[in-house]
Amino acid sequence: MGAHVNTTINGDAVEFVCAPDESLLDVLRNRIGLTGAKEGCGTGDCGACSVILDGRLVCSCLVLGAEMNGKKLETIEGMADGAKLHPLQQHFIDGAALQCGICTPGFLMAAQALLRKNPDPTEEEIRYGLAGNLCRCTGYDKIVRAVQAAAKEMRG
Amino acid sequence: MRYETPSTAKEAVSLMAKEKGIAYILAGGTDLLVKMKAGMIEPDLVVDIKRVKGMNEIKKGAGGYSIGAAVPCVAILENAAFVKAWPGVADAANLIGSRQVQGRSTMTGNMCNASPAADSVPALVAAGAKVSIAGPKGNRKLAVEDVAAGVGRNNLKKGEIITSIDLPKKAAKSGDAYLRFTPRTEMDIAVVSVGVNLTLDGKGVITKARVALGAVSTTVLLVKEAAKAIIGTKLDDAAKANLAALCSAACKPIDDKRGTIEFRTDVAGVLARRAAETAYARAGGK
């Protein structure tokens, strides 16, 4: 028996049917065509599937699609304003804070959640705030610098 | 698999009690969905309690705080008054997984999953917390230290669900602390952990104490003899040495890649001393 779900994704009303044991990540990627969130581990360790659910950062691999009725979801696809990239996205590019790019959508969502709560984080707070996101390319330093630069720009 | 979203605890209990197959409660899902994905469990029924009225709330009543079973760790950390009252319990919530995991994981789930290394359990045991249980034969309360039955097993009966964690009223001049040892600072599992909760009199003498150890036995241990050793003292060096020795003596740890028996036993004493110092200072002792 499938679950019939009405939800809001990046401000748009979305309706879907999924299997009751299907993860939100699989729903996003395979049913809705939002392939920004990535499956790294599928067990909540790597953060590549990070999304913001009702204002809270979560791993979409650890949420069931069936849970989404009446929820508000933000994914990486909603981050840019049309063709204009979000400051975090722009600074990740400018600062070369990505190489293969698999972890990047998750880092951006986690960084966005962090900056909403704390617009002026210390380096330590950034590193703790992003501890749930793994990157095997960059060594993290450029990611931290990019978040610092974006935070500075966003504070104006 | 069926997925149900009851709106009352009674309905949730009824679903769990009637199911003939394998039934699980879903709150944060940070353990359940991982086990399902790994094929360790194949539930016939999953009962999501996040839409049960009251289960998403942290309430402060005359008795003390009550944390609904579906409250994610992040909501505990966002509640400034709670964090001020129970900094040790909050520290434990802040050490469970990543921000992402804290956005979903619940202390009740942490308890029911019954890992000996569960971060929230020693802090809650030290705090003297109880759980409220709803079941097909009525409601009951259970001390947090009695929830786990062994590694990965709990004492809930068929159809029973925990509805909230109830902390006692915060005593005047009391303070709690939770510390764990992990090789990394974040995203790791406790090798040893300690929760301490102390109440002092006007002169700074400890009148009540609770000490709990995690990851050194099959379940979290309430170490009454270690607590007794510091009651009546001002946590002087001799009292701290006794506390450390009795905590080490209570350990029955396993030997594994994360820590040897000798290491865990020794570190339990060290962490107990440090946690007691923090709890003492938080209680206003000098």
Q: Is A21 on the interface with B (CB under 8 A)?
A: yes
What is the number of other CB atoms lying within 10 angstroms of the CB of residue A131? Answer: 20
Residues A69 and A20 in one domain: yes
Helix B261-282 to helix B237-250 angle (10° resolution) is 140
Interchain pair B103, A131: CB under 8 A: no
Q: pLDDT tens digits for A48-98?
A: 999 999 999 999 999 999 999 999 999 999 999 999 999 999 999 999 999
Please identify which residue in the block is written with the tokens 């406790």: B190
Residues A109 and A127 in one domain: yes
Query: B188: buried, middle or exposed (CB in 10 Å: 19+, 13-18, 0-12)?
Result: middle
Residues from chain A contacting residue B29 (CB–CB below 8 Å): 62-64
Residues from chain A contacting residue B98 (CB–CB below 8 Å): 44, 47, 131-133
What was the pLDDT predicted at B184? Answer: 84
What was the pLDDT predicted at A1? Answer: 64
Residues of chain B with confidence (pLDDT) below 50:
none
CATH of the domain at A59: 3.10.20.30
Q: How many CB pairs under 8 A join A and B?
A: 85
Domain with CATH 3.30.43 in chain B: 1-48
Interchain pair A3, B3: CB under 8 A: yes
- Of A35, A60, A78, the last residue of a domain is A78
Mean pLDDT of A6-10: 98
Residues A8 and A26 in one domain: yes
Interchain pair A64, B33: CB under 8 A: yes
Does the domain at B1-48 match CATH 3.90.1200? Answer given as: no
CA distance B209 to B196: 7
What was the pLDDT predicted at B286? Answer: 86
Q: Chain B: give the shortest CA distance to residue A93, in Å.
A: 24
- Of A46, A61, A78, the last residue of a domain is A78
H-run or E-run covering A108? helix A104-117
In the numeric block, which tokens belong to residue B105?
Answer: 């994981």
- Of A20, A47, A78, the last residue of a domain is A78
Pairing type for strands B221-222 and B206-214 reads antiparallel
Q: Which residues of B touch A (CB under 8 A)?
A: 1-3, 5, 26, 28-30, 33-34, 36-38, 46, 48, 50, 72, 74, 97-101, 103-104, 185-187
Q: pLDDT tens digits for B54-101?
A: 999 999 998 999 999 999 999 999 999 999 999 999 999 999 999 999
Residues A74 and A97 in one domain: no
Note whether B206 and B230 are within 8 A (CB): yes
Give the total number of structural domains in chain A: 2
Closest CA in chain A for residue B100:
A58
What is the number of other CB atoms lying within 10 angstroms of the CB of residue B143? Answer: 13
Q: Chain A: give the shortest CA distance to residue B253, in Å.
A: 26
Residues from chain B contacting residue A114 (CB–CB below 8 Å): 99
CATH of the domain at A146: 1.10.150.120
Domain with CATH 3.30.390.50 in chain B: 174-282
Residue-range definition of the domain harbouring residue A38: 3-78
Out of B2, B98, B104, closest to residue A131 by CB? B98
CA angle B167, B172, B176 (to 5 degrees): 55
Enumerate residues 73 to 132 of chain A having a beta carbon within 8 A of any beta carbon in chain B. Answer: 110, 113-114, 128-129, 131-132
CA distance A40 to A105: 12
Q: Chain B: give the shortest CA distance to residue A152, in Å.
A: 22
What was the pLDDT predicted at B255? Answer: 94
Residues A65 and A14 in one domain: yes
Does the domain at B174-282 match CATH 3.30.390.50? Answer given as: yes
CA angle B92, B95, B99 (to 5 degrees): 125
Q: Is A47 on the interface with B (CB under 8 A)?
A: yes
What is the number of other CB atoms lying within 10 angstroms of the CB of residue A14? Answer: 17
What was the pLDDT predicted at B217? Answer: 97
In what order do the strands lie in the sheet containing B206-214? B174-181, B192-200, B206-214, B221-222
Q: pLDDT tens digits for A98-148?
A: 999 999 999 999 999 999 999 999 999 999 999 999 999 999 999 999 999
Q: How far is CA B174 from CA A84, B22, B130, B198, B200, in A?
A: 53, 43, 18, 5, 6
Residues from chain B contacting residue A1 (CB–CB below 8 Å): 2
